Structure 1
Amino acid sequence: MNIKHHPTDETLLAYAGGALSQAMELVVATHMTLCPLCRDKVAEFEACGGAMLNVNQSLSMDSDALDHVMAMIEQESANENARVTPAEMPRRVAVGGSITGSAVPSLPTPLASLLPDNILSLEDIPWRTLAPGVKHFPLKSVQTKGTVRLLKIAPGVSIPDHGHGGHEMTLLLKGSYIDDVGRFRAGDVADLADDIDHQPIADTAEDCICLIATDAPLKFNGILPKLLQPFIGM
């Protein structure tokens, strides 16, 4: 999988430190099952945090303590045998505990664990029409002050031009879209702050399916989308 767009280092650092909301953590964890680069980065951040914690708990700090910590991180990066596989990697995104496995082999574990047992693939999602050419499936079990949902966009259909009242993260699971930021394909993540406006358009012959989490309502730039916003819940 040729992944070109990743969560920012700030987002990955927040994930490693347990500082993300459950909705944002779900997007990052699902992306990490597909992306070895981000798995390695998070492992390094976690190793750094653990090493710094050990240093801080010491009664005294040697003058070379920082060098010692950095050496530990480099050793962790070099030790491929210490790397966990996607199936083994613990998932913090869970309702009531950690995720250790899944009965849904065709879906990434963090996402699969939050779907009904009868959903074995993206084709099994009971989509609900949101707008012409756009369907969704809300993940109501995820605790968030914003929204988290699966979104299905038909070929050639666009999401209305909008900005953000907060953080928005979108993980592409199938198909692709293009917007003001770039072109996103399966495995890519759009990690957008509140200063980004865009209008995603599904640009291939297949449906574009993505996992989207927001922590605040979108800011639509058109009159009609603004009027419909209370009904579509975005």
Structure 2
Amino acid sequence: MRPHHHLDDATLMSLAAGALAMPLAVVASAHLERCEQCRRRLREAEAVGAALLEQTQPSVPAENPHQDALRAAMLARLEGEDDVELRRESRIGGDAAVASAPGADPDAMPVALRPYFGDRLSTVRWHWIGPGMYCTRSRDMPSLIMLKIAPGKSLPLHSHGGSELTQVLQGSYNDALGVFAPGDVADLDQDVEHQPVTSPGVPCICVSALDAPLVFSGWLARKLQRFVQL
């Protein structure tokens, strides 16, 4: 299934420049494993970044040929299509193509997430945070979390104090922005207020990265927020 919801251009540019916060970059990399369209757009963003770097890099004095050679080599690496692919595979894991291939094991964790949550979805250790809602958090990056939500559950209405990236791994949910199924990513900012509702059938499992706490509208959700730390 091809994703229908993709990474924002600004997110891809930040990722290409190495400026995206690590938790957000991890989720973005998990999406790139599933999405050929965003991989192509990332290569385009890296090419734009290389061109901008070449235009803004100060000229090197002729008496320093060694530094000039290093700069030329760096630009060649940035512009080379093969090296772009090599850096992308390094960023999301060498087995990404296998993990995202048609017919791949649906229980396999995306390669980008394995250092933080293990190799398989079925072995994740979940912690109860509410009726039908479970969570686990990366020890290395507390703002990188996985959620497992039972079918037909409605999350509290909320907006965002900063950026949020959410990648659906299993199941699906819908909100004002549409239906999000496996492979889809929600790339959200402070202007978005929504209330995800999980679809019938199977639990919805997703991975999220936040650079600021959520902003809940209801008083009960705000009181509970300090316990679930979202």
CA distance in 2, matches of 1:100, 1:85: 9
Cα RMSD, aligned residues only? 2.6
What are the Cα deviations for residues 81-126 of structure 1, in whole angstroms up to 9, with x where unaligned?
Answer: 777389x71217xxxxxx5569x962221111223xxx43111111
What are the Cα deviations for residues 50-81 of structure 1, in whole angstroms up to 9, with x where unaligned?
Answer: 23323444749xxxxxxxxxxxxxxx89x7x7
Q: Where is the helix percentage greater, Structure 1 or Structure 2?
A: 2
Q: Is 1:14 the counterpart of 2:10 in the alignment?
A: no
Question: What's the secondary structure of 1:178's corresponding residue?
Answer: strand
CA distance in 1, matches of 2:208, 2:110: 15
CA distance in 2, matches of 1:44, 1:111: 25
CA distance in 1, matches of 2:157, 2:149: 15
CA distance in 1, matches of 2:38, 2:223: 39
CA distance in 2, matches of 1:152, 1:230: 19
Q: Structure 1 residue 18: deviation in Å?
A: 1.0
With the length of structure 1 as denominator, give the TM-score of the two structures: 0.78
Gap runs ≥5 in structure 1: 61-75, 93-98
Q: Is 1:193 the counterpart of 2:195 in the alignment?
A: no
Q: Is 1:159 the counterpart of 2:155 in the alignment?
A: yes
Matched residue, 2:85: 84
Question: Aligned residue pairs: how many?
Answer: 203
Q: Is 1:36 the counterpart of 2:36 in the alignment?
A: yes
Among all aligned residue pairs of Structure 1 and Structure 2, give the percentage whose two residues are the same amino acid. Answer: 37
CA distance in 2, matches of 1:5, 1:184: 7
CA distance in 1, matches of 2:24, 2:6: 13
What are the Cα deviations for residues 19-59 of structure 1, in whole angstroms up to 9, with x where unaligned?
Answer: 11111111111100111111111111112222332344474
Q: Is 1:184 the counterpart of 2:180 in the alignment?
A: yes
Gap runs ≥5 in structure 2: 61-78, 100-107
Give 1:138-153 correspondences, 5 Å limit: 138-142=137-141, 147-153=143-149
Aligned amino acid, residue 110 of structure 1: A
